[in-house]
Structure 1
Amino acid sequence: MLEISGLGGLLILALDIWAIVSIIGSAASTGKKVLWVLLVLILPILGFIIWLIGGPRSSKAMA
């Protein structure tokens, strides 16, 4: 059972890192970037879901 929870934690970590990199690469203002990154760091699962629905995207994804 420890392996399953460990893999889940690694998956959440990878998704949060992906979200943070995307937030930093977005065209949003610095203040908004900081708030989004804090949301993802403080609430890893819920913050990621909120970012996925309404957060800023990287400028590469918009092109």
Structure 2
Amino acid sequence: MELQVTGLLGFLIFIADIWAILNIVQSRESSGAKLLWIVLILLLPLLGLIIWWFAGPRER
């Protein structure tokens, strides 16, 4: 049971990371800023997602 919960949480984090990366790519930020955000999310999936949620690029 614990393995299933862990797998589900991992899958949900993966989906949220993909969603965040798509939002970053579609944002109006510079290419360098986009690259840094994407690298942060890829290297630190959960922490990067949380940081992006609070401090990431927003549409104006």
Q: TM-score, normalised by structure 1?
A: 0.88
User: What letter corresponds to residue 29 of structure 2 in structure 1?
Assistant: A
Q: Could you say what secondary structure the match of 1:51 adopts?
A: helix
The match for 1:52 is 53
* Higher RCO (CA < 8 A, seq sep 6+): 1
- After the TM superposition, which segments of 4 or more aligned residues of structure 1 sit over 6 Å from their partners? none
User: What letter corresponds to residue 7 of structure 2 in structure 1?
Assistant: G
Give the percent of matched residue pairs that are identical in Structure 1 and Structure 2.
51
Alignment map for 1:4-43 (pairs within 5 Å): 4-43=5-44
**Structure 1: gaps (5+ residues):** none
Q: How many Å separate the matches in 2 of 1:56 and 1:40?
A: 13
CA RMSD between the two structures: 0.9
Q: How many residues align?
A: 59
Displacement of 1:56: 1.0
